[in-house]
């Protein structure tokens, strides 16, 4: 079947926000109705302009004729006020049209030049005809997104520099101490340097994974996976750490849990990060449990602990880049990467917590 290309007037303009339908369907935009009203008004204005211009020309000609010696007296007096009124009406109409359409367009052009010069805080007032208000609203949305992305880029660069500086400073200080004879060159000190290099390596790997996930180039090697078996393996890997911390680690899963198509290594990475965080913030004698169940066409896996919990003002930020809890020595990217990996599988992740009563992190994945 031959697919006909969309006509140019049905294609979204370059300045229209990505992800929003074009032409707009909402009443707030009213593009089709506004466009028809705009065309009618322009037609009425042009018709009035032509009529008034014709009257003005006739009046001026009559006035000129009336100045001739042989013209009747009525032509010498009456047409002059009519000519003046016609000229005033024509120029007033032109001024109103230019002001109504030229002022919003001029404001948009001026704002676009300021954005091109780097001033991303520029906004335009949304006034004028409906079509120009739509353009102004789209321009403001575009400028707000550009400003937000620029702020995120600056914060990301500052956070990366800060996170890289810490392990590099430790490594540099230890090596200088070895060379100056401040530290003995024993295995314990070398192990500390090695641990910092591993931390630096994990940070670089996290940054690469985060960049791939956010750019949409993260490779997922999906295969049919038994979630119950995967959860059991992750729990076994952390059982030794839980025993040392005197924390009860439990796993719950029904026997009829279906298999799903996921990347088992990436899903294991997500669960390992959640369990690691739960064990870190759960005191001795507490409990960490991981439960799996099916709810309709979704697989639900939750990791709950009886730890210290998360403050209400910190809870919305736990999935942000480089956000760290109190006493955390990680990179601040674990939960961000977990969120991106879950979304790459078509799922969602959320957290619920009460300060002093523990935290529950829930992820949902499609079964199909």
In 117-226, alpha helices (H): 130-180, 187-215
Q: Does residue 144 surpass a pLDDT of 50? A: yes
Which of 53-67, 136-150, 204-218 has the highest average model confidence (pLDDT)?
136-150
CA distance 235 to 232: 5
pLDDT digits 0-9 by tens, 22-56:
665 544 444 445 556 666 666 677 776 666 666 66
Please state the φ and ψ torsions of residue 117, each to the nearest 5 degrees. Answer: -85, 0
Q: How far is CA 362 from CA 40, 52, 140, 258, in A?
A: 56, 71, 36, 18
pLDDT confidence band for 99 (50 / 70 / 90): low
CB 275 within 8 A of CB 268: no
Token pair of 86 as six digits: 């016609």
Half-sphere exposure of 313 (CA within 13 A, CB side): 0
Report whether 100 contacts 128 (CB < 8 A).
yes
- Contacts for 107 with CB less than 8 Å, ≥ 6 apart: 124, 125, 136
Q: CA separation (Å) from 226 to 220, 361, 365?
A: 17, 20, 13
Phi, psi of 356 (to 5 degrees): 85, 0
Q: 251-286 b/e with 16+ CB inside 10 Å = b?
A: bebeeebeebebbbebbbbbbebbbebbbbbbeeeb
- When the pLDDT of each residue in the chain is averaged and rounded to a whole number, the result is 76
Give the whole-angstrom CA distance, residue 333 versus residue 324.
9
* Pairwise CA distance, residues 154 & 356, whole Å: 35
Q: How far, CA to CA in Å, does 15 sit from each of 19, 71, 276, 357?
A: 12, 61, 45, 48
Structure tokens at 202: 């994990």
Please tell me the distance from the alpha carbon of residue 307 to that of residue 83, in angstroms, as a whole number: 88
pLDDT digits (tens, 9 = 90+) for 316-360: 888 877 666 655 555 667 788 888 888 888 899 998 888 888 899
Question: Which has more pLDDT, 301 or 202?
Answer: 301
**Per DSSP, what are the bridge partners of residue 361?**
303, 351
Checking if the pLDDT of 156 tops 80, the result is: no
SS3 78: coil
């Amino acid at each position: 079947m031959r697919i006909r290309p969309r006509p140019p007037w049905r294609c979204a303009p370059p300045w229209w926000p990505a992800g929003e339908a074009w032409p707009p369907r909402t009443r707030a935009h009213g593009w089709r109705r506004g466009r028809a009203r705009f065309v009618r008004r322009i037609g009425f204005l042009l018709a009035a302009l032509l009529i008034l211009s014709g009257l003005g020309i006739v009046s001026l000609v009559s006035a000129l004729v009336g100045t001739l010696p042989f013209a009747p007296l009525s032509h010498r007096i009456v047409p002059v006020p009519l000519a003046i009124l016609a000229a005033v009406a024509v120029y007033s109409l032109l001024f109103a049209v230019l002001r109504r359409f030229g002022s919003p367009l001029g404001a948009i052009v001026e704002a676009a030049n300021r954005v091109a010069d780097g001033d991303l805080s520029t906004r335009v007032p949304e006034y004028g005809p409906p079509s120009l208000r739509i353009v102004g609203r789209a321009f403001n949305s575009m400028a707000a997104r550009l400003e937000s992305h620029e702020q995120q880029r600056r914060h990301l660069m500052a956070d990366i520099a800060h996170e890289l500086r810490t392990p590099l400073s430790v490594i540099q200080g230890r090596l200088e101490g070895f060379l100056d004879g401040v530290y003995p060159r024993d295995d314990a000190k070398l192990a500390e340097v090695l641990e910092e290099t591993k931390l630096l390596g994990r940070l670089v790997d996290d940054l690469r994974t985060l960049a791939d996930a956010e750019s949409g180039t993260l490779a997922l090697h999906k295969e049919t996976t038994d979630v119950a078996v995967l959860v059991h393996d992750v729990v076994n890997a952390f059982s030794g750490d839980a025993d040392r911390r005197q924390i009860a680690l439990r796993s719950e899963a029904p026997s009829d849990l279906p298999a799903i198509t996921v990347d088992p290594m990436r899903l294991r990475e997500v669960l390992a990060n959640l369990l690691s965080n739960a064990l870190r913030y759960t005191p001795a004698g507490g409990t960490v449990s991981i439960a799996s169940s099916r709810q309709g066409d979704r697989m639900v896996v939750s990791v709950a602990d009886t730890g210290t919990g998360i403050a209400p003002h910190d809870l919305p930020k736990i999935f942000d880049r480089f956000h760290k809890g109190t006493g955390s020595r990680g990179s601040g990217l674990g939960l961000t990467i977990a969120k991106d990996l879950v979304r790459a599988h078509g799922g969602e992740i959320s957290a619920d917590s009460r300060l002093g009563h523990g935290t529950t992190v829930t992820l949902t994945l499609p079964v199909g």
